Amino acid sequence: MTEKYKGLSAAEFFYKNREIAGFSNPTRALYQTVRELVENALDATETHGILPTIKVMIKPLDGKVMVKVEDNGIGIPPEEIPNVFGRVFYGSKYQLRQTRGVFGLGVKMAVLYAQITTGKPIRVVSSMQNSEFEYEYEVQIDIQHNTPVILSLKVRKKRKGHGTLVELITEGNWFLARRKIESYLRRTAMIAPYATILFEGPNGSLEIKRASRKLPPPPQVGKYHPKGVDIELLKIMIRNSSKKTTLVEFLMENFDGVGKITATKFCEWAGFSPDTKLGKLTMEDLEVLARKMKEYNKWRRPKPITLSPVSAELLEKGIRHVLNPEFATAITRPPSSYGGNPFIVEVALAYGGEIPPSNTPILYRFANRIPLLYDEGADVVRKVVDSIDWSIYKVKFPAPIAILTHVCSTKIPFKGVGKEAVADVPEIEKELTTAIREAGRRLRLYLSKVEKMYAIKRRKVTIEKYIGEVARALAYIDDSSEKVIMAKLRELLKKDIERRGVAYAEEEQ
């Protein structure tokens, strides 16, 4: 018997394995669809200096669900719309910089899932900033060939400002997905306090207005770090270079933080002549070169220009805006790296107010500004938080405490294909521990201050209970006016309380 062999297009592979992208059931698929569309909308706005206004609408339709997301972004070039929504592994994120997604799946998986469960195409209406027209497409995916199928195209005069509206009808379970979707939108408002999010669903509407008009600086496209290379990457880079280029010139031109002196020292350490021409390198040379680049410990740390942290200021505004706590603080750690990949850890801590008491700190996890709602138990953040003795920071459980963590990197080390849990990378774990402990120390200072102020107030209340009796006794002994003595005692108490308050304030400073 002879085996039959055939190939699969990228679209066909993910059609057969849609669970890989999170479309495992109608509940998860509906959540994933909303998430992909909202994240595309945010990328189309904040990255280009536009304060986002995102409108989300969900409407059940006889076992199906209509999802509509509209943004005020830069719009999509009309000739690119079919490929952006109808071709797997096609997009604008295949560059070395921090992005919300890098696989090129995202919205295409939502289109595929809608197509195979309801047979309906995706409807896209988009107008660019400097265009007089808006373009409306209905698109499906030719799964076998991974190409877009344009079912209709309409061109008309622009009726309003720039942006993109995406609408699709998919199989979904709104009843079970509701809590996840609403939680996702609230968490998005935490990490993007500069966004206004308007949601209209079957059970009512939700409006989260922006708490800030300040946007984080967008990430820049950068170069690879020498420690992050492999043989295949070297081959691609060499193909794009002249064969007459020397190894030192190649290292200087293609890698982050590599100057002539550093490149020369590395070549000598690795056993290569600095003047070696790229055309002379064999496959064995490339294998040695890639290995030595990983082993060399004198490279400079990766530059963080490819990253865009939210900032401590915006994180604190976001967590205050959504959680309304009694106390909040935020920390952005200095840039660090793992395996040649730059990353930055940010942490915010909130306490009291409207936060419900719980037996462990409530976690809000983010990676490249994406809320992570699943697989919390597998995340390195949960491991770090559970390893901390919170009594050191005057926290007694159950306590109203919440912790927000944000890891941004050009390559987030997720534990699985679902991209919902950050792996236990030692460098990231160390930065998370340092940031969370610093936030804990700030909380301890605040709680100590509260305890001290309560102690001063209790002293005042206790003494005031006996002022009347003491005044009467002194008036009887001294044959003086009870009112005069009481006034003097109250003045002495006021000065004592003020003195204690000033002393405590100076102690805190």
Do 171 and 131 touch, CB atoms closer than 8 A?
A: no
Closest CA to 170 of 33, 22, 21: 33
Q: Which CATH number fits domain 10-208: 3.30.565.10, 1.10.490.10, 3.40.50.10860, 3.90.226.10?
A: 3.30.565.10
Domain boundaries 226-295, CATH class: mainly alpha
**Structure confidence at residue 197 (pLDDT):** 96
Q: Which fold has domain 305-444?
A: Ribosomal Protein S5; domain 2 (3.30.230)
d(CA 309, CA 85): 28
Cβ neighbours of residue 450 closer than 8 Å, sequence gap 6 or more: none
What ranges in 412-481 are assigned the alpha helix state H?
426-478
d(CA 275, CA 264): 9
Cβ atoms within 10 A of the Cβ of 54, count? 27
Cβ atoms within 10 A of the Cβ of 275, count? 11
Domain segments of the chain as ranges: 10-208, 226-295, 305-444, 446-508
d(CA 112, CA 120): 10
> Quick one: DSSP state of residue 421?
S
Residue at 265: amino acid letter: K
Query: How many residues appear in the chain?
Result: 509
Q: Where are the beta strands (DSSP E) in 91-162?
A: 122-127, 133-142, 147-157
- Return averaged pLDDT per consecutive 10 residues of the chain, 509 residues in all: 62 62 82 92 90 96 92 94 86 58 67 90 93 93 89 90 93 93 94 95 92 88 83 88 89 89 92 89 90 88 84 95 96 87 93 95 94 91 95 94 94 80 92 97 91 70 70 72 73 70 51
Do 187 and 31 touch, CB atoms closer than 8 A?
A: no
**Structure confidence at residue 342 (pLDDT):** 87
Q: At 443, phi and psi to the nearest 5?
A: -65, -40
